[in-house]
Amino acid sequence: MRIALAGVQERGATAQLLDLRDYDLPFCAGEERDPNQPNSGVERLRQSVLEANGVILATPNYHGTPSGVLKNALDLMSMREFEGKVVGLVGVSGGRMGGASTLNTLRAIGRTLHAWVIPWEAWVYDAATAFGENGNLKDAGTEQRLKEVGRKVARLTRMLASKEARELLQLWEDADDVV
């Protein structure tokens, strides 16, 4: 994730790492929350994502799916936080398998939340041996693919914020009313 965020910064955008370990997130059980008992971790996470112009989701592969921690965090949010946002995807696995189904799951979640999930994605295979002692990737190609996810998220986010793109998107949304 840090490498992908470096790609965001290369495009002149600001990047912030949201580590889910820093939030006290309850299990999402599909129950209505008691408004008198707000969860500050959930509210902080929602607010941070809401304020972001773009999002990169990174996950290890667990049995062909994203981590339960990330899935739970996404379940605690809604379209309110993601609608219209550009989303990039990054994955990591202990072996050579699992990347496609894991990122396909995140892509489906992103579409369900009405986000713009970019087609460019990156995967780090054999994570136990992929990184050196300094935490840097040993393979320059993998590092460039991760940075490119960040670059593309920053670029598309900037493009969608332009006046011309906003006008085009408004025309597109208005066309729904005609059909």
pLDDT tens digits for 128-148? 999 998 889 999 999 999 999
pTM as predicted: 0.88
Per residue in 86-117, pLDDT tens? Answer: 999 999 998 887 678 999 999 999 999 999 99
Q: What is the dihedral of CA 123, 129, 133, 135, to 10 degrees?
A: 10
Domain of residue 11: give its range. 2-178
**Tell me, what CATH number does 17's domain have?**
3.40.50.360
Domain count, the chain: 1
Question: Which pLDDT belongs to residue 176?
Answer: 66
How many whole angstroms separate alpha carbon 104 and alpha carbon 115?
A: 14
Whether the CB-CB separation of 91 and 99 falls below 8 Å is answered with yes
Per residue in 1-36, pLDDT tens? Answer: 999 999 999 999 999 999 999 999 999 987 766 655
